[in-house]
Amino acid sequence: MKTTPEALNPFSLMMEPERVLHTMERSQQLRGLRRHKLRPLDKPLIPYTSEALASRAAYDAMVDAQELDALDDYLLN
């Protein structure tokens, strides 16, 4: 690939997408990359116990209640 300022200018490359695709197809570095498919995690890595889930739910409820109390105080004043 050329190292001229024109070749490095991303704005000029946007005007010539065919040139970019052609350069990508010829690139040995891109061909050398390992290809593998990534899949989203179906389950958490750390299993949650029922105690941990209950604790999290209680904390969430406490935070929600505080937000509502603060909102009520704001609206009443």
* Residue 75, in any domain of the structure: yes
Q: How far apart are CA 16 and CA 76, in angstroms?
A: 61
pTM: 0.32
* Residue 40, in any domain of the structure: no
Q: Is the dihedral of CA 5, 27, 33, 21 positive or negative?
A: positive
Question: pLDDT digits over 30-65, tens only?
Answer: 888 877 777 776 666 677 788 989 999 999 988 888
**End-to-end Cα, the chain, rounded Å:** 67
Domain with 2 in it: 1-34
User: According to the model, what pLDDT value does residue 76 have?
Assistant: 64
Q: Are residues 30 and 51 in the same domain?
A: no
* Residue 39, in any domain of the structure: no
Q: Is the pLDDT of residue 22 over 80?
A: yes
Q: Are residues 58 and 77 in the same domain?
A: yes
Residue 1 · residue 7 · CB < 8 Å: yes
Residue 13 · residue 19 · CB < 8 Å: yes
Q: Are residues 28 and 1 in the same domain?
A: yes
Number of domains in the chain: 2
Tokens of 49: 């116990």
